[in-house]
Amino acid sequence: MLAVTSYSPDNVAACRNRIAADVAAYEAAGPSAMLEPVFYGMMVLALDRWFVHRQRSIEGEDGNALNEVRVLSDSIVGHGGMLVIEPSIKLDPGRSVLGIEPGATIMIDKDGFHRLSEAFLGEIEARFC
């Protein structure tokens, strides 16, 4: 598939609705503190997948929330959950949404995922809609 340069507002709304429904279902089931980072890690992958073909020149490489989700997803899948930042992306943990340092194990809680998903979808809307 070619890189995507725009998304419809309906696509972003559908993503928001699905993410909210999945989180609500998890919360209704009585979340486990032990499983919380696993669930929210998988939710990051789901979030990224909705917009997986986004064009990188529009996404940028300045450490924004789109970059953070890309790096988190790549690290969860390709590095066993240890944060690895590709050299072209300037992701500064001090300015990122979650503040995870390179080499650290990715552990995302409900609040962190909420902040990350809102920042990510806000960037999608700003850059691609």
Distance, CA of 25 to CA of 100 (rounded, Å): 27
- Is 67 among the domain residues? yes
pLDDT at 23: 96
Give the total number of structural domains in the chain. 1
Tell me how far CA of residue 36 lies from CA of 1, 81, 87, 95, 123, in angstroms: 33, 14, 29, 24, 25
Residues near 2 by beta carbon (within 8 Å), at least 6 away in sequence: 53
- Is 4 among the domain residues? no
pLDDT tens per residue across span 3-13? 999 999 999 99
pLDDT at 121: 98
3-state class (DSSP) for residue 110: helix
Query: Rounded to two decimals, what is the model's pTM?
Result: 0.94
pLDDT band at 48 (very low <50, low <70, confident <90, very high): very high
Average pLDDT value for residue range 91-106: 97
- Is 86 among the domain residues? yes
Residue 31 scores a pLDDT above 90 = no
pLDDT at 24: 96
Domain assignment of residue 68, given as a range: 9-128
3-state class (DSSP) for residue 105: strand
Residue 64 scores a pLDDT above 80 = yes
